[in-house]
Structure 1
Amino acid sequence: MKPSRKIQAALVTAAVAVAVTGAAITNTKSGAQPEKLTIAAEFADASPLVVGNDVKVKGVTVGEVADMDIRDAKAIVTLKIDGAALPLHKDARATVRPVSLLGERYVDLDRGTASAPLLNDGHVLPVAQTGQATDLDQVLNTIDDPTGQSLAALVTMLGQGMQGNGANAQASIKALASSMRDTDGLVKILGQQNQLLADVVDNVQPVASALAADGGKTLGDLVDSSRQVLDVTAKNQQGLDATLAELPSTLAAARDTLSELAGTAKSTTPVLEGMRPATDDLTAISDELRKFSESADPALTSAKPVLERAEKLMDAARPVVEELRKAGPALRGTAAGANPLTAQLTGNIENVLNFFRFWAMSTNGWDGLSHYFRGQAIIHPEEITGLLPSLTGTPPPPAIPGSGKPPASSPLPGLPGPLGSSGLLDQNSLTAPDGGVTGLNERQESGVLNFLLGGS
């Protein structure tokens, strides 16, 4: 039968009182606790505790349940604990246990480990550090009719088996007492080594999983390999014995070698001492290198934007380079064909430049209609005299009819030959009667200029 909520609250209060009392004992590590201690304990279910229930440590009453309350769906049990239960540590545990089959309960308090900090007055044990023992009625409630009948049959058979064998059972229990004590000690040791055992299990578990893979084939292979190694070892037992027999002499030789090595080390000591000044210089050199690296840091830092810009330019130039690379063979042939032309132009560069200059001068003029072209013609005096009237203004003599000869041209007055002494027309010899320097009169000069320059 389940107790009321009030009784549950009382039980929770009793558990808190027990925990508080246990926290009053002195701990040499964390300092002293007060003579009495009041703590609280959180229970998921504190029934059927009531206010006034005892708080015990290892079966000794050390306090009582002072109060019970409900907070955040948890039973808060206040425990008042005497100094006899101290010291209490922060890893203490509170468990609700039955006093008897009649339903009365008490709070069993475990003081915790000595290495943990001490509890302070008013400390609250969390739900993880509280619990409740299983009641007989809970056990009976889990047994259904078939299970109960089977349990009754088991008890009946045990009773029949024990009938008349009480003395034998007593002797067996006495004989097993020492073994049970040893077993109890072993269980306590294992309980203290829970963490170590858990670590061993955690470390063994991957190995066991790997060996159990493939239906145990890996483990079978390992066993087969081990058996083969043992077989080979058994077959070579004599060789192993001989090796072990030679081992002392080998160790003696190794000892002699180590002795010689010690002498070599002593001889090496002066050499190392002589190298010490050089090592001192290495310190100075390393300092200089460090200063150089520190000086180079700003330059390297400022070079980063330049390198990034150069990288962008190289990325932009990559397509152009690819196109030039594709056009490389054609450009090579074109360059080879243009090489003679460039060589000739280089050797005659002055005449080429004069051509462009004179061409520009000849075509840069214009009149009212359009641009016109200026030209320079070098004409031999005989050609001029053959085309133009006489320089003296007299017409040439007429041709003789029927002779087939053209009219004779009038020679230039004062001209010793077809050309002057310099190969050009002599100005004095070509002077016209009207004083013109060309040897032509004004009308003739106008006609020549209009013909050469395209004027009107």
Structure 2
Amino acid sequence: MSRTNARTTAPQLIKLGIFAVVTVTATAVLAATIVNLSFTPKEAYTAVFSDVTSLEEGDDIRVAGVRVGEVESIDIMDRTLAEVTFTVSRDRPLLTSTRAAIRYRSLIGQRYIALMEGTGDATPLSPGGRIPLSRTEPALDLNALLNGFKPLFAALSPKDVNQLATEIVKTLQGEGGTVRSLLAHTASLTTTLAERDKLIGSVIDNLNTVLKTVDRRSTRFSDLISQLQRVISGLSADRKPIGESLAGINGLAEATSGLLKDARPPLKTDIAELSELTGTLNDHEKTVEGVLQRLPKKLNKLTGTASYGSWFNFYLCDFDGRIVLPKTAEVLTPELHVARARCGR
């Protein structure tokens, strides 16, 4: 049994080892590709630029669009210039006439240095050599460039703006575009604007109508402005009395506040008593209603009696009532009955 297991285990170990080697190799190659690692020998050079804004260590060094190295360091030189140290693969030797230019990698501000052949001396540049300021170019000033296209960008969609801006940058950097293609793309965008001519014309016509209406009423409009100016001038002239009146209003508000504060407790009591009175009247609604119905006839009779002279006689025959004392809730029912001949009717 042990010999059989040994025979079956050996091939499996070999297969496992081969799989592990292939996996590690593939992972290493993938990692090197992602981080742009290069195992070829490199040579260091320097270049002097007047402006290296947004250029950072690790940015690409490219020749004809192919990455051949990276930026190692950036140092200030004479307070007005920048010295960039970069490396290039040894199999890509530079010439004494080589030119260096900072290019835009994307519209969000990423940069790289493009190396190009120049005219003149074609001897190789020795390792550690310097590209002077006369053969370097800083990056384009996108702010000044794109500000000139603001009127056009204002009428385009964000997608068209990005596409046009990319074409402009590529064309002016000499990458993947020509002035002819830029003009063709601009023409297509302006054609889109021309298709909106009807809408723009309609807006202008409506604006003309509004202006004509204002012009026909120019006299009234002028009078309105004049009256408004007089009102403002009057308020300005009377600003001192207005300020003093505001102080008087403040004093009046304080006095009124004090008056209301003093009158509030008795007013609260009166309202509570009035509430009780209305409740009593509501409880004796029928009685009150009967009195009000009989009152006109009684008044007519009293008026007829009083009209005979300046004298007036009253005879009290019967009286009854119901009084509820507020604090004790005691009920009193006084009654009065006069047994006279005149009260027998």
Structure with greater strand share of residues:
2
TM-score by length of 1: 0.25
Larger CA Rg, structure 1 vs 2: 1
TM-score by length of 2: 0.33
